[in-house]
């Protein structure tokens, strides 16, 4: 039986997220022949030109498939809203095309309690992904399209941008948002909207290699950094530390510490292995992830995003580090029981003290 954690009783919180709005199609594979045909790897992610994604679509759409909203930031705040029973004011900024996929995304996000403030790029398609799922592994193929274009002037011209930022408690930025939008992303970290708490998700190991200086910039300036072990190892390498622990000691010592209770935090997941948190100028906490039956795992797509969403929901409730991690693990384990990052039909009780 899942242990319960008291649900928050404080005023509604507000979060503004920035990322790649994507429409996901998940395909359950019976074997790996399709991966070999398209030179794809299990448990990997790859960006491809639009024509390549269309070719792959032609091969898979006769198979059983599931369509969901996707993208790191969208997944995170959708799961967070589900965990909090839509008690949070959540808004996503990003770019989409002027097409049917954008309309579908708006409807999906509205149903999940998330406001969409999309900037329309008329000559580019809405970003799409295909997740090819085989057991616990999934190969993610994406064409980012319009999502990868968001000039700063276009964002600043959005009529509700400044109001949303001014009223927000947390600002969430996914690592994929850094590609081709460095000026825009840096503005979000550096602008002084009453010193908001910055949540940053490394999101992809390859972003560290593609933009090492930019990744370093964001990791150093964020209040909470989420990522899996491989992603943190990539950050450790580009910042020339010997270990993740060494990285944590320096980052937490030099961090902004706007969160008075715990100071800056690094939150490191590792699949079914223990979650490791560093906080409060160098303290650490290790949490054993509850075991799951392999037969309950349908699709690991969005597991890390779901963990972050659950963690944030508990963090806003002013709970302990242990309870934040427990809630994150709970959220992730509920999502991987679904196909794609789709929300369960029930509301969770883990934050409910009644």
Please, what is the Cα angle at 278 between 272 and 283, to 5 degrees? 125
Sheet holding 170-174, edge to edge: 114-120, 89-96, 14-18, 170-174, 197-201, 224-228, 265-270, 273-279, 283-287
Q: Where are the beta strands (DSSP E) in 81-161?
A: 89-96, 114-120, 127-134, 137-143
Q: Estimate to the nearest angstrom the gap between the alpha carbon of 146 and the chain centroid.
A: 19
Tokens 């622990």 -> residue:
245
Q: Nearest-CA neighbor of 75 among 346, 339, 342, 297?
A: 342
Structure tokens at 70: 């996707």
Q: Which helix (H) or strand (E) holds 290?
A: none
Structure tokens at 209: 């290699």
Could you tell me whether strands 283-287 and 137-143 are parallel, antiparallel, or unpaired per DSSP bridges?
A: unpaired
Q: Are 308 and 328 in contact (CB under 8 A)?
A: yes
pLDDT in tens, the chain (354 residues): 445 555 544 567 899 999 999 999 988 888 888 888 888 888 787 888 899 898 988 888 777 788 999 999 999 999 999 999 998 999 999 999 999 999 999 999 999 999 999 999 999 999 999 988 877 778 888 899 999 999 999 999 998 899 999 999 899 999 999 999 999 999 998 876 557 889 999 998 889 999 999 999 999 999 999 999 999 999 999 999 999 999 999 998 876 656 667 778 999 999 999 999 999 877 899 999 999 998 898 888 899 999 999 999 999 888 999 999 999 999 999 999 998 899 999 989 888 753
Could you tell me whether strands 114-120 and 89-96 are parallel, antiparallel, or unpaired per DSSP bridges?
A: parallel
Could you tell me whether strands 44-47 and 137-143 are parallel, antiparallel, or unpaired per DSSP bridges?
A: parallel
| Size of the chain in residues | 354
Q: Which domains does the chain have, with CATH numbers?
A: 14-21+70-126+144-335 (3.40.1190.20)
Could you tell me whether strands 170-174 and 137-143 are parallel, antiparallel, or unpaired per DSSP bridges?
A: unpaired
């Amino acid at each position: 039986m899942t242990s319960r954690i008291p649900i928050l009783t404080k005023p509604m919180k507000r979060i503004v997220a920035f990322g790649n709005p994507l429409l996901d199609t998940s395909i359950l594979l019976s074997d790996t022949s399709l991966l070999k045909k398209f030179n794809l790897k299990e448990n990997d992610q790859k960006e491809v030109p639009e024509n390549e994604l269309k070719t792959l679509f032609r091969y898979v759409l006769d198979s059983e498939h599931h369509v969901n909203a996707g993208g790191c930031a969208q997944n995170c705040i959708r799961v967070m809203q589900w965990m909090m029973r839509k008690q949070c004011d959540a808004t996503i900024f990003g770019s989409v095309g002027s097409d049917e996929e954008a309309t579908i995304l708006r409807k999906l996000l509205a149903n999940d309690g998330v406001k969409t403030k999309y900037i329309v790029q008329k000559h580019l398609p809405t970003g799409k992904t295909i997740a090819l799922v085989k057991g616990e592994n999934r190969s993610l193929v994406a064409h980012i399209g319009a999502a990868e274009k968001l000039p700063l002037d276009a964002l600043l011209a959005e009529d509700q941008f400044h109001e949303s930022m001014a009223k927000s408690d947390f600002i969430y930025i996914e690592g994929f948002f850094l590609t081709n939008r460095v000026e825009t992303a840096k503005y979000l970290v550096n602008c002084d909207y009453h010193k908001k708490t910055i949540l940053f998700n490394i999101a992809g190991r390859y972003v560290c290699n593609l933009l090492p200086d930019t990744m370093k910039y964001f990791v150093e300036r964020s209040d909470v950094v989420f990522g899996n072990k491989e992603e943190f190892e990539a950050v450790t390498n580009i910042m020339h530390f010997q270990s993740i622990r060494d990285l944590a000691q320096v980052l937490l010592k030099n961090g902004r510490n706007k969160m008075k209770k715990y100071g800056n935090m690094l939150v490191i997941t590792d699949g079914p292995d223990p979650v490791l948190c560093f906080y409060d100028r160098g303290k650490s906490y290790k949490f054993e992830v509850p075991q799951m039956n392999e037969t309950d795992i349908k699709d690991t797509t969005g597991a890390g995003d779901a963990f972050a969403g659950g963690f944030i929901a508990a963090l806003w409730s002013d709970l302990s580090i242990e309870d934040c991690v427990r809630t994150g693990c709970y959220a992730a384990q509920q999502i991987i029981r679904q196909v794609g990052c789709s929300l369960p039909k029930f509301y969770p009780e883990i934050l409910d003290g009644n």
